[in-house]
Amino acid sequence: MAHPTQPSSFALRGIALFEGLGSASLDRIAADCEWRPLQARQPVFSRCSTGSDVFFLVSGRVRITTYSAGGREVSFRDYGPGEHFGDLAAIDGQARSTDVVTLESSLLASLSRQDFLALLAREPAVALRMMEGLAGLVRRLTDRVMELSTLGVPTRLHMELLRLAREAGVSPEHTALISPVPSHSVLASKISTNREQVTRELGALTRRGLLRKEGRQALLVTDVNALQALIAQES
């Protein structure tokens, strides 16, 4: 059912999964969605919870994370506007596999499992895009397992910085501004180490001239090609 204060279907045009859909299709999806404005640092759902809605991030940012039995946080990645999450539970009907929390004020649209599966059945292009996304996820997770199993902490950190640099966009001068840069604790959780070792390795890269702080929340990779070459030497 439509939420009484739902935005129009125009808000869904920025969702990558819906690219190419016509106005009528988007209107129908918008009417089926529940619209949820959330403030920063609010949980969307938690690991092992039983909900199966799929969420579409209209605005804001969220973090996909989980916690070990000992309480150690393991961060997977941050999602921005246009991305979706929660589809695994919708597809297989099982419990959630991660925690999701907002990083800033966000607007989410969500579809129930029933409505999401019906959408995949009536929109083959969306179903194909979903399968491509899941295939990409499997490939990324395979790469990450190999990194954690075979590479040392310095190389893992270098590879994470290279990923962040590419996501931020590499300039013609081969620089990249990572902003906002994740905290040392978040970087540590992504590469399975501790904050102190991340601090040491970032300091070493700074002394080599490959990194430079830009204000309080940004980090400049001064030569992305040199960072990539360093990884090749270490791997």
pLDDT per residue as tens digits for the range 62-91: 999 887 767 777 778 899 999 999 999 999
User: Angle 192-64-175 (CA atoms, 0-180°, nearest 5)?
Assistant: 70
Number of alpha carbons in the 13 Å side-chain half-sphere of residue 97 = 11
pLDDT per residue as tens digits for the range 2-35: 444 556 788 999 999 999 999 999 999 999 999 9
pLDDT per residue as tens digits for the range 126-178: 999 999 999 998 998 898 888 888 889 999 999 999 999 999 999 999 999 99
Structure tokens at 69: 């039995």
What structural domains does the chain harbor?
Answer: 9-146 (2.60.120.10), 151-234 (1.10.10.10)
E strands, 30-71, in order: 34-38, 43-45, 54-59, 62-67
Number of alpha carbons in the 13 Å side-chain half-sphere of residue 20 = 8
Specify the pLDDT at position 141.
85
Specify the pLDDT at position 91.
94
Q: Which residue has the higher pLDDT, 216 or 230?
A: 230
The mean predicted confidence, pLDDT, of the chain is 91
CA dist., res. 74 & res. 71, Å (int): 9
Longest dimension (CA), the chain: 58
pTM attached to this predicted model = 0.74
What backbone torsions phi and psi does residue 79 show, to the nearest 5 degrees?
-110, 145
